[in-house]
Amino acid sequence: MRPLRASPSLLQPDGRKLYQQAAAAIAAAIQRGDYRPGQRIPSERDLAEEHKVSRPTIREALIALEVTGLVRSRHGSGIFVVDNPSSDALSLSLDIGAFELTEARRLFEGETAALAALSITEADLVRLEELISDMERENQQQVGGERADREFHLVIARATANSAIVGVIESLWDARYSSPLCAEMLERARKVGVQPRIDEHLVIIQALRNRDPAAARTAMRDHLARVIDGLLEATEIDTMERTRAELEEKRSALARRVSV
């Protein structure tokens, strides 16, 4: 997968993350009255075109606005302004989003895997294979796979014998839990069945076993690119599920009416 890129943004650099700028611009439009309470705001595609940013950026912005209570999803019908929008809805610090975090992981963990390929031990490789079994078990039990998946990536980081690299990888994983926005997006992914992909982790192990830095880098970057794809699909599926729920509700209401 190519890195997520967008055409030049109309948002002006101000030290905030791009999704935060997009969220602030949409919030400002709501507060100006461009979108009234109860009104549906434009689609992801339209907002992305308006602000000249990627759809993932807009998706993170909309989820951020939903988490802070300024907008809400309505059973697949779209995103609507809440009835009494707060003027300080974005005062909550949402920190980092899952797309942004995973792109950072793709960059740093790709290079980490390349370096680890030069120094990884047989004991490390055995431990990675054990963690594959743990991931398979966690996937079967539908418990999220977080513990084994996290440890898998940290074993690779430790194999570099560089404590600074280990600290960076640990901090990137810890951000998954400390950021409300990231946690919300990952929870949505888990709810629709997104799990660690065993085959991709096996490709990483093989590249490390071959002591091939280029292959290890590629395997790790490809794996994390597919994680981004999974997040995109999960948030789209989340919308589709709300649409299905709305249709089922309408069918049930119609059935009750015709039975009278």
**Domains 18-91 and 98-240 equal at CATH topology level:** no
Terminal C-alpha separation, the chain: 54
Residue range 169-185, pLDDT digits in tens: 999 998 887 777 777 77
pLDDT score for 15? 62
Q: Which residue has the higher pLDDT, 72 or 145?
A: 72
Contacts of 76 (CB under 8 A, 6+ apart): 239, 240, 241, 242, 243, 244, 245, 246, 247
Can you give the pTM of this predicted structure? Answer: 0.65
CATH number among 3.30.450.40, 3.90.550.10, 1.20.120.530, 3.30.9.30, domain 98-240: 1.20.120.530
Q: 251 pLDDT exceeds 60?
A: no
Q: How confident is the model at residue 5 (pLDDT cuts 50, 70, 90)?
A: very low
**Mean pLDDT of the 220-246 span:** 72
Q: 145 pLDDT exceeds 60?
A: no
Q: How confident is the model at residue 254 (pLDDT cuts 50, 70, 90)?
A: low
Q: What percent of the chain has pLDDT over 90?
A: 35
pLDDT score for 165? 96
Domain locations along the chain: 18-91, 98-240
pLDDT score for 246? 47
Q: Contact 73/79 with Cβ under 8 angstroms?
A: yes
Length of the chain counted residue by residue: 260
**Mean pLDDT of the 19-38 span:** 88
Name which of 38-47, 98-107, 143-152, 246-255 the model is least confident about: 246-255
Q: 256 pLDDT exceeds 80?
A: no
Architecture in CATH for domain 18-91 = Orthogonal Bundle (1.10)
Longest dimension (CA), the chain: 74
Q: 46 pLDDT exceeds 60?
A: yes
Q: Contact 63/69 with Cβ under 8 angstroms?
A: no
pLDDT score for 8? 46
Q: Which amino acid is at 109?
A: E
pLDDT score for 150? 92
Look up residue 96 and give its two tokens: 């980092």
The C-alpha angle with vertex 239 and arms to 200 and 22, in degrees rounded to 5, equals 90
Question: How far is CA 175 from each of CA 8, 97, 100, 169, 242, rounded to the nearest angstrom?
Answer: 28, 9, 11, 10, 28
Residue range 83-111, pLDDT digits in tens: 876 665 555 455 677 777 888 999 999 99
